[in-house]
Amino acid sequence: MTISRRRFVLGAAAMAAAAAVNVRAFAAAAQATGLKDYYKNDFLIGTAMNAATFTDNDVALQQLIAREFNAITAENAMKWEVLRPELNKWDWDISDKIVEFGTEHDMHVIGHTLVWHSQVPDAVFQDDAGKPLTREALLARMEEHINIVVGRYKGRIPTWDVVNEAIEDDGQWRKSHWLNIIGRDYIAKAFELAHKADPSAHLMYNDYSMFLEKKRQGVVDMVRELKKQKVPIHGVGMQGHLGISGPDLAEVEKSIIAFANEGVRVHITELDVDVLPSVWEITGADIATRFDYKPEMDPYRDGLPAEKEEQLAERYEALFKLFIRHRDKIDRVSTWGTSDDASWKNDFPIKGRVNYPLLFDRNREPKLAWHKVAAVPAAVNR
């Protein structure tokens, strides 16, 4: 072999080795980069954390969440029946662990939720004899609960879902125990109490099916009324429990604009995309809704077909393009869970189905939808 030939071969080998190193470096960098990094100039990217993440010591999931997200919400740990199963009994274990995890990883923690009609023990609304509380007694109970919960995490939880799902799909106020006993000012009282407990906290109203015209107007009217009364409401959470082909994203966009026009920040909360056949055209997230299992309503037990996987990815891509377009109005986009295996949509509204609504599969691997979502900021910002 001539000297020049030898130099060429060695040079080519060196270049190949360097290229291999670069490929490995790129792969390592990609593995260390999460959605939060792709959207760092747009809005927070969040997820919900469940109790099993800690009770099962699921380190792999914890690491995935820390890599991908910069905001977390307790899926159930801060709801009344979990946090306070009895009036004089508190269980702070998982709630504290979620806040500690968020603090350790420099995450924005969302407290969920202070006042809700669901997942609240009946005793909350009753006196010792089992009779309905008076307005004054229930207000006192609300104040005690908010003071204790918000006070415990003051300075560590910067955002609270103060009131959850108080407006029906037709725009009317839900006839909950809170409304029936206290009256229409219960929402204003809840926000005022939360503000008093932590004056620096960002306080939100959170609800599903916000793309419905009547519901959108009902929430707009409520926010407008609260603002007129100088009630400290700062944000509206639009739950993103959507289908693979509906609703029309134009209606979602109308709601983003409508709420922003009322002077509140918009949060896209509880985002997931249902790929299974709809049941009676249900679009909401009322956990009391249940139907019997039928095999024809569970068609993808052996895996999601490629065409459906592509359709899901395109739906997520379209959603995030919409969110980017309104990043001046949106503070956060949070999925309701991280991987398909732990999604509540496997059991709602039919228990035992196999659903694929999130960005990571059952092996915690990023799906095509993840890749589509990750590519949106670069494509939009060219």
Domain annotation covers residue 373: yes
Domain annotation covers residue 18: no
Residue type, 22: N
Asked if pLDDT for residue 29 goes beyond 50, the answer is no
Q: Which helix (H) or strand (E) holds 182?
A: helix 177-182
Are the beta carbons of 28 and 363 closer than 8 angstroms?
Answer: no
Extract the tokens encoding 4: 């020049």
Domain annotation covers residue 272: yes
Q: Which helix (H) or strand (E) holds 372?
A: helix 368-380
pLDDT digits (tens, 9 = 90+) for 156-173: 999 999 999 999 999 999
The residue count for the chain: 382
User: What's residue 287's pLDDT?
Assistant: 55
SS3 breakdown of the chain: % helix, strand, coil, rounded to 5?
Answer: 45, 20, 35
Q: For 265-289, what is the mean pLDDT? A: 78
Q: How far is CA 318 from CA 45, 62, 231, 284, in A?
A: 16, 28, 35, 20
Domain annotation covers residue 75: yes
Domain annotation covers residue 279: yes
Q: In 229-304, which residue ranges form alpha helices assigned H by DSSP?
A: 249-261
Asked if pLDDT for residue 288 goes beyond 70, the answer is no
pLDDT digits (tens, 9 = 90+) for 137-148: 999 999 999 999
Q: How far apart are CA 301 and CA 311, in angstroms?
A: 18
How many domains is the chain partitioned into structurally? 1
Asked if pLDDT for residue 3 goes beyond 70, the answer is no
Active site residues: 270
Extract the tokens encoding 55: 């009770």
Strand-pairing partners, residue 160, are 111, 203
Q: How far is CA 69 from CA 47, 66, 201, 270, in A?
A: 7, 6, 21, 14
Q: How far apart are CA 282 and CA 310, in angstroms?
A: 23
pLDDT digits (tens, 9 = 90+) for 170-199: 999 999 999 999 999 999 999 999 999 999
pLDDT bucket at 284, cuts 50 / 70 / 90: low
| 39 or 379: which leads in pLDDT | 39
Domain annotation covers residue 24: no
HSE, side-chain direction, 13 A CA sphere, residue 333: 25
**Long-range contacts (CB closer than 8 Å, 24 or more residues apart) made by 141-147:** 142/115, 142/178, 142/182, 142/186, 142/189, 142/190, 142/193, 143/193, 145/80, 145/84, 145/114, 146/114, 146/115, 146/190, 146/193, 146/194, 146/197, 147/193, 147/197
* CATH code where residue 166 lies: 3.20.20.80
Asked if pLDDT for residue 7 goes beyond 70, the answer is no
Q: Which helix (H) or strand (E) holds 59?
A: helix 59-68
Q: Which domain holds residue 157?
A: 35-380
User: What's residue 330's pLDDT?
Assistant: 98
Q: How far apart are CA 160 and CA 109, in angstroms?
A: 9
Domain annotation covers residue 156: yes
Q: How far apart are CA 225 and CA 88, in angstroms?
A: 35
Asked if pLDDT for residue 361 goes beyond 60, the answer is yes
- Give the alpha-carbon dihedral of 163, 165, 167, 173, to 10 degrees: -60
Domain annotation covers residue 7: no
pLDDT digits (tens, 9 = 90+) for 215-267: 999 999 999 999 999 999 999 999 999 999 999 999 999 999 999 999 999 99
- Residue 270 sits at the vertex; the CA angle it makes with 256 and 346, to the nearest 5 degrees, is 140
User: What's residue 128's pLDDT?
Assistant: 95
